[in-house]
Amino acid sequence: MTKQALEPHQQPSPDTSDATRHEPVSFTLEPNDPQHLALLCGQLNAHLKQIESRLGVRIHNRSNQFSIAGSDAEQRAARALIEGLYEDVRGGARLSPESIHLQCQQADLERRVDETHGAGGESTGLSVIRTKKAVIKPRGRNQQDYVRAIMRHDINFGIGPAGTGKTYLAVACAVQSLMEEQVKRILLVRPAVEAGERLGFLPGDLSQKVDPYLRPLYDALYEMLGFDTVSKYIERNIIEVAPLAFMRGRTLNNAYIILDEAQNTTREQMKMFLTRIGFGSTAVITGDATQIDLPRGQASGLIHASQVLEDVEGIAFTWFANKDVVRHPLVQRVVSAYDSHEARTTHLDKKAQ
């Protein structure tokens, strides 16, 4: 093990004036394997620092002896995370900032549930989605709330920045419902606005023209069901991936319908889509209100729907934020930087007027 990894992780002592913080909890990782401990801690304790920053704790370690300072819930979450990561490392896993980031999000969710219900208290539990090829565990409080809302409501909106898992989790819920025979078919729908509605120069019919824009939906299906099963379901029309224009005039019963990139629908298109939903169907509408590609001056159907339907019984809205991004940690910072720049620009424009 490197000298740096063996050194205690020096941090300022916790603020004893904070009533929520308690005496540090100490524990030992076994077996005492210097190589695995070095991989766990990361170069210059980078992994431990990342856990500290995300969970709001202070971590000290010397060899396989660890202590964690923080509230009771923070201590439990951080200890469980460190012990779990050590088992992963011993099993051959290679830790990275990205994998630590995802694990911290899950640990933070469990900490929040712990704080809400108390240790040993009754909890609603964490939602898990089971598909043919994978078991998918939503990460973060908003992802958990989103999945629970989808399971309880017939119409659901997931609104927030890219990388928050809105579409992926919706597809996972749809696949689970299909596997459990709660629905008979899945429809994955997208508007064709990304191509500027000027698709004539591309070969094929409209469905073939917009196929590249539907690729993320196919990728999620392949991961959850496998290529052969997806191909068979598409051939038998059990799974249909189509542009929004193909929804007009249809009534969809016993189906799971996902409208992706909904920020690029018009008011009329959104109303048309929502009125296609029949008995026994579930609809999930996802989008990012900051990435609207509609022509200038044309209102987004997603934003309009969030204003019109917010208080309608039976319809759920889940709002994702930058902290919910589960891609590379830098994506959170990129989204935040753009949001801050846009806010400053808007403020200056208003002052200029």
Q: Torsions phi, psi of 292, nearest 5?
A: -90, 125
For 266-290, what is each residue's pLDDT tens digit? 999 999 999 999 889 999 999 998 8
d(CA 274, CA 66): 54
Alpha carbon of residue 100 to chain centroid: 15
- Mean pLDDT over all residues of the chain? 81
Highest mean pLDDT among 14-23, 45-54, 96-105, 108-117: 45-54
Query: Which domains, ranges and CATH numbers included, belong to the chain?
Result: 3-117 (3.30.1370.10), 129-324 (3.40.50.300)
Q: Which two tokens stand for residue 29?
A: 């990782």
Percent of the chain past pLDDT 90, that is, above it, reads 41
Three-state SS at 47? helix
Report whether pLDDT(114) > 60. no
What gap in Å lies between CA 319 and CA 288, rounded to an integer?
10
Residue appearing with tokens 């524990």: 27
pLDDT in tens, 188-229: 998 875 544 454 555 565 556 666 667 778 888 999 999 999
Q: Could you give the percent of the chain with pLDDT greater than 70?
A: 76
Helix (H) or strand (E) holding 85: helix 72-90
pLDDT at 13: 43
Provide the pLDDT for residue 317: 95
pLDDT for 15 equals 44
What does the pLDDT average to over 70-81? 89
Phi and psi dihedrals of 318, rounded to 5?
-120, 125
Q: How far apart are CA 60 and CA 234, in angstroms?
A: 54
